[in-house]
Structures are given as C-alpha cells and as structure tokens.
Amino acid sequence: MTLTRFVSKSAFRNKRRSILTVLSITFSLLLLTVMMTVWHRFYLDKGDAQSAQRLITRHRVSLTQNMPVYYREKMRTVRGVVAVAPTQWFGGLYKDEKPENFFAQFGTDPAEIFTVMTDFKIPDDQLAAWQHDQAGCVVDSELAKKFGWKIGDRIILKGTIFPVNLELTIRGIFVAPQPSITVYFNQKYVEEAVSFAKGRSGTFNILADSPEDVPKVAAGVDAMFRNSPEPTKTESEKAFQLSFINSMGNVKAFILSICFAVVFATLLVSANTMAMSIRERTREVAVLKTLGFTQQSILKLYIGEAVLVALTGGALGCLLAAGLVVVLANAPGMGFFFLGMRVTTPTFLLAIFVSAMVGLLSAIVPAYHAAKLDIVEGLRYIG
C-alpha cells in the first residue's frame, strides 16, 4: 500500500462523515465561486482590446444632463479621436415595467455607431437596411434570442423620458463580444417627435486611435469644453460602466464580506471533521508510530487527508457553480445582472486553491497534536 493510497483510504474510511463534509464544503465553495465570478466580471474584466480603445463622454454635472449635439464635430478635432457617435438613453418600456423586460435603448446615428463599436459585428446588408429605415432598429443577438425576435419584427417602446412611443422594425441583429442587452435606433425618430430632444445628446461614444491614447483623448475632450456653459466628463468605457455598478451601492464590500463568511464557515466545518476523525484514531496513531512513522510523516498523512477531502468538495463546488452561473445567466426574470457571465479559469483555480488551503489550515492543529502524541498514552487511549 502506497502512502497516497493510505491517505485516500483513511480520508474516506468513515464514509458518511466524509460525504457530509465534502457536501458541506461543496456548497460553500459553490457560493464562493459564484461570488468570485461576479467580482471578476465587475472589477477584473478589462474587456477586450477594442473596448479599451473606447471612451464615453457625458455632461459634467451628471448623466441625466444632455449636451449639444454639435460637440460631436468639435470632438473630431481632438488628436487621437477616430470616430464619434452620439448615444441618447431612451429608457422606454417594452411591454411592461417588469425587470425582465428591461434593456438598454439608445438613439444614435446609424452611419457611425458601428464604426465606433468595432467589436460589434453586423452583416453589411442588415446595417445598410437599418441606415435606410429611419424607424428601424438593430438588436443584440442575445436579446433577440431572449425575446424570440426576428428581422422584420416590430417592437414598440413606450417612452418615459421622451413623450413618444417608438414603433420600430428590426432591421438587423448584431453580435457583441459580451451580451450588451442593447437596442439601437435612429435618434432622428425621437428628434422629429419631441422638440426638446432636438440637437441634444446624452452621451458620446468615442473611438480612439489606440488604448494608449485613451487618457490623452479624455483630457483633450474635457479641456475643449471646460470653459463652455456645458462642460463634459470623458472616461474610458470600462470606468464608465464601473461607475454604474458602484451606483448600485457598495457591492465590493458586500461581496467581500460574504466571501469571508463562507471561507470561515468552511474552515470551521473542515476543522471540525478533522478533529473528530483524528481523535477517533488516537490509538492508530500510536500504532503507526510504533511501526516507525516519524512525527513529520504523520503530520503529512493527516494534512494530506484533510486537503484531499477539501479538494474533493472544492472541485464539486466549482463544477456546480459553473452550472449555476449558466442557469442564472439564462434564467427568465433575472434582468441583466448575470447576463453573459461565466466562470473563468483563473476563478476556478483560485477556488481550488482556497479549498486546498482550507483543508491544510483545518488539519494543522489536530494533526500537530497527533504527531506529538506519546506512544504509550496513545495506546492506552480508549476513546
């Protein structure tokens, strides 16, 4: 019998206990992995290279203030600016106010928006069809899948900010690298129906020369309008999105505290099991020592055992988490929170590492006691 086999045999000798411990760790790690996935998506995901090349300009005062649409032409003169498209949040209702029917609706310029959004792919003929129909729109492929939309379908967006109901015909379906839950339509439609919308835009999407140029472009654009009555604030696309997440509250602290509680609880469970299982085997330890096992090898044996149990739980938890995230991403009524989320390899590895550490830490104290055990005392032990 090899040492590895000995460890795995003893790890699962009390089947019921091992299974319960594994299951307990599985559920904790499941939660931890999901939380880490959310964290990863919000704070670590830098987006693809093309997103890093884009900026968003808004009114300095706040997102709800509009800017004159002629800013767009002035922005083109800033060094490093390749393309600019205006985007105006429409915020209309599709069907009803239910969160599952919520998606982003932007009025924009069909001629340039896809020049800026370089990573959004749309067939040329569909783009041309949209550009020719002022009452047309293009929709995100994931969104089309969710609502079962096809090209030629009509959707009605009930205006809340602008007093107009848009009757749009879907002219194209675009594929975004990450689901964007967005519908784009021609802002002219709104401008012709609502006088106060004329000549104004809520945001501008800018494509820069290269990701390195982004800070310079941001500074350049803001400097241009600093002393105008309507100054701007320009930031990278990622920074802009992050400010939205931050507006949901202190998400960071929220996730961190849950992760901390979960890891600590797992540690307790695992430590409990190891303490029980090592105490039960006091006499066995004495026998092992009599046979010539050193303190160190006994320490290793028990730690190995705990790590094995924790790893089994961790691996199961990760697998379940991957499944759960997929379910959440596609669940109806979830809105957009989990849309397009998936468990990434680094997250997997981190979760596995955490479970191994939990096993290690939980076994140290009881294993140390076992290793230090006096042989005679141990043999006398009656449990």
Partner 1 sequence: MAIPISYNIRNLKLRKGLTIMTALGIALTVTTAVFLMALLAGLKKAFMSSGDPVNVLVMRTGSVAELSGGFDASLFPTLKTLPGIAKDGQGEPLASGEWVVVVVLPRKDGTGEVNVSVRGLMPAGLTLRPGAKLVEGRWFTPGQREVVVGQSIHNRFSGANVGDNLDFAKGQWKVVGVFDSGGTAYDSELWGDVNQIAADFDRQGAFASVYLRATDPVAADALKHRVADDQRLKLEGTLETDYYEKQTSSGGVIKFIGTVVAVIMAIGSSFAAMNTMYAAVAYRSKEIATLRIIGFSRPSILTSFVIEALLLSLLGAVVGIVLILPFNGMSTGIGNQLTFSETVFSLHVTWGVAMTAVIFALIMGLLGGFAPAWHAARQDILTSLRA
- Which residues make up the interface to partner 1 (CB under 8 A)? 16-17, 20-21, 23-28, 30-31, 61-65, 91, 93, 97, 99, 158-163, 196, 229, 243-244, 246-250, 257-258, 261-262, 264-266, 268-269, 271-273, 275-276, 334-335, 337
- Choose between 119 and 230: whose C-beta lies nearer to partner 1: 230
- Give me the least distance between CB of 17 and partner 1, in Å please: 6
In angstroms, the CA 24 to CA 354 distance is 15
- Give me the least distance between CB of 202 and partner 1, in Å please: 11
- Give me the least distance between CB of 268 and partner 1, in Å please: 4
- Choose between 2 and 227: whose C-beta lies nearer to partner 1: 227
- Choose between 81 and 263: whose C-beta lies nearer to partner 1: 263
- Give me the least distance between CB of 158 and partner 1, in Å please: 6
- Choose between 293 and 368: whose C-beta lies nearer to partner 1: 368
- Choose between 221 and 269: whose C-beta lies nearer to partner 1: 269
- Choose between 65 and 295: whose C-beta lies nearer to partner 1: 65
- Choose between 269 and 308: whose C-beta lies nearer to partner 1: 269
- Give me the least distance between CB of 163 and partner 1, in Å please: 6
In angstroms, the CA 187 to CA 88 distance is 7
- Give me the least distance between CB of 309 and partner 1, in Å please: 12
3-state secondary structure the chain: CCHHHHHHHHHCCCHHHHHHHHHHHHHHHHHHHHHHHHHHHHHHCCCCCCHHHEEEEEECCCCCCCEECCHHHHHCCCCCEEEEEEEEECCCEECECCHHHCCEEEEECCCCHHHHCCCCECCHHHHHHHHHCCCEEEEEHHHHHHHCCCCCCEEEEECCCCCCEEEEEEEEEEECCCCCCEEEEEHHHHHHHCHHHCCEECEEEEEECCHHHHHHHHHHHHHHHCCCCCCEEEEEHHHHHHHHHHCCCCHHHHHHHHHHHHHHHHHHHHHHHHHHHHHHCHHHHHHHHHHCCCHHHHHHHHHHHHHHHHHHHHHHHHHHHHHHHHHHHHCCCCCCCCCCCCCCHHHHHHHHHHHHHHHHHHHHHHHHHHHCCCHHHHHHCCC
- Choose between 61 and 287: whose C-beta lies nearer to partner 1: 61
In angstroms, the CA 363 to CA 371 distance is 12
- Give me the least distance between CB of 311 and partner 1, in Å please: 16
- Give me the least distance between CB of 357 and partner 1, in Å please: 17
- Give me the least distance between CB of 187 and partner 1, in Å please: 16
- Choose between 104 and 128: whose C-beta lies nearer to partner 1: 104
